[in-house]
Amino acid sequence: MTIRTLVKNLAAAPDGPVSVSGWVETVRDQKKVQFVVLRDESGAVQLVHPRTDTEEGSQPDATAATISALTTGSFLTVAGELKHDERVKLGGLEVKIGELEVAATALDLPIAEDSSVDKRLDYRWIDLRRPEMNLLFRVQTTFLHALRNWWVEHDFIEIQTPKLMSSPSESRAELFQVPYFETTAYLAQSPQHFKQMAQAAGFGGVFEVGPAFRADPSFTSRHATEFVSVDAEMSWVDSHEDVMAMHEQLLVAGFTAIKQKHGDEIEALFGLEVTVPTTPFPRIPLAEAKSIVAERGYEIPRADADMDPEGERRISEYVKEQYGHEFVFLTDYATSIRPYYHMRHGDDPGLTNSYDLVFNGVEISTGAQREHRIDVLVEQAKDKGLNPDEIGVYLDFFRYGVPPHGGFGMGLSRVIMLLLHQPSIREVTYLFRGPNRLEP
Amino acid sequence: MTIRTLVKNLAAAPDGPVSVSGWVETVRDQKKVQFVVLRDESGAVQLVHPRTDTEEGSQPDATAATISALTTGSFLTVAGELKHDERVKLGGLEVKIGELEVAATALDLPIAEDSSVDKRLDYRWIDLRRPEMNLLFRVQTTFLHALRNWWVEHDFIEIQTPKLMSSPSESRAELFQVPYFETTAYLAQSPQHFKQMAQAAGFGGVFEVGPAFRADPSFTSRHATEFVSVDAEMSWVDSHEDVMAMHEQLLVAGFTAIKQKHGDEIEALFGLEVTVPTTPFPRIPLAEAKSIVAERGYEIPRADADMDPEGERRISEYVKEQYGHEFVFLTDYATSIRPYYHMRHGDDPGLTNSYDLVFNGVEISTGAQREHRIDVLVEQAKDKGLNPDEIGVYLDFFRYGVPPHGGFGMGLSRVIMLLLHQPSIREVTYLFRGPNRLEP
């Protein structure tokens, strides 16, 4: 393997021979000297080539010709001499080109920073070369790794639940159907059924990071037809309070790791300071949150008991003012707006042991204690107009013993979008999928 | 949250009050004293209840009545007194039952250890309560975490590629189709296209652990219609040799972690010693491997240049004898049996820069250097009878610059199956999916 030095490691390297590889960001082709800014996954460096063909009668300079022909985006490897030089704006160093090998020549790039989102998504792989995008996916990597570290330290088991199911996991709406040999399969809308199955299997705590699918025709900045769902479920909870306690510890672990590893870069590229949230996160029962929002002048225009996106923004604003916190758990959702499998309050069947987590004004997660008592669960399903036979496989999980349990599902892209103040999940998903977008 | 003590932690706990939660493995309902073996995700413990209703005229013993009525598999919490007592076979300790609360009563369990695989898969969540299965998924968790630790330490970026695609990623065969709004989507057979896209995006090293789908009608012990694929791809490789070097380091990291964390348990439950492989793994060009197998009496009954499963078993046997190694890289596959995107030898276009990794007799992985030169790639696609227009989106990744790169895909369940000497991936997949199996 070519022993290449990552650009970020040049600063600490001594003057002398190095090899760097990356793509061409800019070329300045001057009369006497040529400059190439080369970027790799870790940063950018200036390469320099003093032309040797400037004197009358001098030999042709093959390297200079190659550099003159370089197109933006082409990938190349340069072996040369590193020299630290404070006068060089870009990192205080440059590499004098010795050998230059072009690995692949780029056609004229079809997008620029100011291209429309749609155009940029058409050429997502070029869009992803932007330092902000590279950093964003590093941040996401660090976030997920910190979550998994937390789970592994707490003896949770990782599961990979199937995405092909015989029955819908959430609802009959927004369901992708797949012809499956002699029958029909459904794409999992969430790992809900199967992470609960792990509870009946005596796994204790489980986690999964995987795709989920919704045939959702909407075009908002928060929705996709395929998204990465971060899920956890744990046994022997007393209420949703235990789930929230896990949830906030995870986010603290994730944000701490992000701040440590990428805080400076995030400040430089996004102009943002990462705040590690303090625990406990504020908790507000949903009904109270709605009153607060109403008192502050916004009547939520919904017939049901739910919040709406504007309400979430406003309660978030309130929490920020009141508690200086970016997160808020909205708790105790009305039974009428929650699925049948959420446990209801013992003393008020109109409320559930559930919550939504709002981060910087947008819901990122739903959690709950689940109803584990099979007779109650069947009644609640009927209550919601479901035929228990249609969810027979799921109900069977509860017939042979199951501990009390609860968990949450969280949209990965939403967390990253809100953390980095991005306008849409389209910009933070590796490859966005929407009703009109299946490519690349 | 109930402060429960995991069973595995009882040994280190002092005598005195504890609370344990789990499910009933057995009840011995004797005249004077009752015993319950309670299992949780970490182990099993004996609970004991001396009956208080054995004397004539004594008060009814409510706890005894509850215990008598307990069914196997029911979940319960017991607060009681821990006592270390060497005479107790199960771990040298027992818990004297104080309070006992049944969380969920199990119906008669429909499967036992000797039930058929199919029956056990019908009730997979009960089958997963077996200590071997619980351990298996802990081993898998540890394995994946060790791999991810390696990648994170080496600055790889985690990607989650979409599973809904506009064109097949591998071949037109064995493809699930999904009606997608006004068009048709395909379920990803591998993340091949999109992990290569990360190369054109300048991400350097990337990894993904996620589902892959094959509408494969076969019923072997090694195939599933949905499986978990472990994928990595890296930039600036000189050949497949660099990919193999990464691959073997990953496996060493994974097996080291497994041995450290679970070696003793694996020995106890599976009767196996985990061997951390030494590096470099043996490498044998495929043609040579076929000769070796032939010399040892097995002519591979195939018309093409490929191995067959029996051949893989035999070359593995040979490597075990010759080098005492459980792994072998079979390298330099013939162009005729490799996909168009594998790079061909510079000096022999009949061979590719590729390998299969065989572990304990079964192929677990395919890796290769990819062809990154767009003109060569187009020619190779045509060579294989492909219409470049049909893979136009993929080919576009190469038109705007891309570094030389390579990577591998590895079947997670196969690794675990072979590590723990299990007979089929059905037994090691959380929920197996096959042509006849879509439930639970």
Give strand pairing partners of A33: A50
A388-419 b/e (C-beta count within 10 Å ≥ 16 → b): eeebebbebbbebbbbbbbbbbbbbbbbbbbb
Q: Say how far apart CA B164 and CA B433 lie, in whole Å.
A: 18
Q: Say how far apart CA B262 and CA A2 lie, in whole Å.
A: 37
Q: Say how far apart CA B276 and CA B263 lie, in whole Å.
A: 11
Q: How far is A26 from chain B (nearest CA, A)?
A: 14
Q: CB neighbours (10 Å) of residue B228?
A: 22
Q: No. of H helices and E strands in chain A?
A: 11, 16
Which of B21, B400, B428 is the best mutation test for A, with the most CBs of A within 10 A?
B400
Query: What pLDDT, in 10s, does the model give residues B161-188?
Result: 999 999 887 777 899 999 999 999 999 9
Spatial neighbors of B65 by CB under 8 A, at least 6 apart, are none
Q: How far is A257 from chain B (nearest CA, A)?
A: 13
Q: Say how far apart CA B394 and CA B387 lie, in whole Å.
A: 12
Q: What is the mean pLDDT of residues B196-213?
A: 98
pLDDT of res. B2? 55
Spatial neighbors of A95 by CB under 8 A, at least 6 apart, are A10, A18, A20, A45, A46, A47, A48, A78, A80, A81, A82, A83
Strands (E), B105-222: 157-158, 164-165, 177-180, 183-187, 206-213
Q: Say how far apart CA B295 and CA B314 lie, in whole Å.
A: 11
Which of B102, B226, B236 is the best mutation test for A, with the most CBs of A within 10 A?
B236
Nearest to A163 by CA among A188, A134, A185, A199: A188
Which of A125, A127, A234, A410 is the best mutation test for B, with the most CBs of B within 10 A?
A125
Angle (deg, nearest 10), helices A131-153 and A412-419: 120
Provide the edge-to-edge strand list for the sheet that holds B177-180: B164-165, B183-187, B177-180
The answer to whether the CB of B75 falls within 8 A of the CB of B25 is no
Would you state the structure tokens that stand for residue B188, as one six-digit string?
């990803």
Would you state the structure tokens that stand for residue A364, as one six-digit string?
């990122």
The answer to whether the CB of A243 falls within 8 A of the CB of A406 is yes
Q: Tell me which H or E stretch contains B148.
A: helix B131-153
Give strand pairing partners of A17: A81
Give strand pairing partners of B235: B405
* B347-355 contact pairs (CB < 8 A, 24+): B353/B239, B353/B240, B353/B406, B354/B240, B355/B240, B355/B243, B355/B244, B355/B283, B355/B329, B355/B330, B355/B331
Domain boundaries, chain B: 7-104, 124-427
> Which chain B residues contact residue A21 at CB under 8 A?
235-236, 403
Question: Is A366 annotated for ligand binding?
Answer: yes
Reduce the DSSP state of residue A306 to 3 states and report it: coil
Tell me whether residues B402 and A433 touch, CB distance under 8 A: no
Q: No. of H helices and E strands in chain B?
A: 11, 16
Amino acid at A394: Y
The answer to whether the CB of B27 falls within 8 A of the CB of B63 is no
pLDDT of res. A337? 95
pLDDT of res. A132? 97
> Which chain B residues contact residue A393 at CB under 8 A?
439-440
Tell me whether residues A400 and B203 touch, CB distance under 8 A: no
Provide the edge-to-edge strand list for the sheet that holds B327-331: B157-158, B206-213, B226-235, B405-411, B362-369, B354-359, B327-331, B283-285
Spatial neighbors of B249 by CB under 8 A, at least 6 apart, are B150, B279
CATH architecture of A124-427: 2-Layer Sandwich (3.30)
Eight-class DSSP state of A337: G
The answer to whether the CB of B351 falls within 8 A of the CB of B336 is no
Reduce the DSSP state of residue A230 to 3 states and report it: strand
> Which chain B residues contact residue A103 at CB under 8 A?
372, 402-404
Spatial neighbors of B356 by CB under 8 A, at least 6 apart, are B286, B307, B329, B330, B333, B363, B365, B366, B367
Mean pLDDT, 10 residues at a time, chain A of 440 residues: 85 96 96 96 96 86 95 97 95 96 96 93 97 98 98 98 89 90 95 97 98 91 93 97 98 98 98 97 97 94 92 97 97 96 96 98 97 97 91 95 98 97 95 95
Q: Say how far apart CA B332 and CA B241 lie, in whole Å.
A: 10
Rounded to 5 degrees, what are φ and ψ at B24? -80, 120
Nearest to B170 by CA among B127, B233, B213, B227: B213
Query: What pLDDT, in 10s, does the model give residues B44-90?
Result: 999 999 999 888 888 889 999 999 999 999 999 999 999 999 999 99
> Which chain B residues contact residue A439 at CB under 8 A?
166, 393
Q: How far is A423 from chain B (nearest CA, A)?
A: 20
Amino acid at A151: W
Question: Is A93 annotated for ligand binding?
Answer: no
Q: Tell me which H or E stretch contains B99.
A: strand B93-104
Q: How far is A110 from chain B (nearest CA, A)?
A: 9
Reduce the DSSP state of residue B302 to 3 states and report it: coil
Tell me whether residues B75 and A402 touch, CB distance under 8 A: yes
**ipTM (interface predicted TM):** 0.96
**Same topology between domain A7-104 and domain A124-427:** no
pLDDT of res. A2? 55
- What CATH number does domain A7-104 carry, 2.40.50.140, 3.40.1410.10, 3.40.190.10, 2.60.40.1220? 2.40.50.140
Residues shown for chain B: 440
Q: Is the pLDDT of residue B412 over 70?
A: yes
> Which chain B residues contact residue A165 at CB under 8 A?
438
Tell me whether residues B201 and A128 touch, CB distance under 8 A: yes
Q: Say how far apart CA A46 and CA A38 lie, in whole Å.
A: 6
Amino acid at B125: W
The answer to whether the CB of A187 falls within 8 A of the CB of A175 is yes
* Confidence tier at B307 by pLDDT (50, 70, 90): very high
CA B302, B304, B309, B313 torsion: positive or negative? positive
> Which chain B residues contact residue A372 at CB under 8 A?
103-104
> Which chain A residues contact residue B137 at CB under 8 A?
157-159, 203
Tell me whether residues A134 and B203 touch, CB distance under 8 A: yes
Q: How far is B143 from chain A (nearest CA, A)?
A: 10
Tell me whether residues B123 and A400 touch, CB distance under 8 A: yes
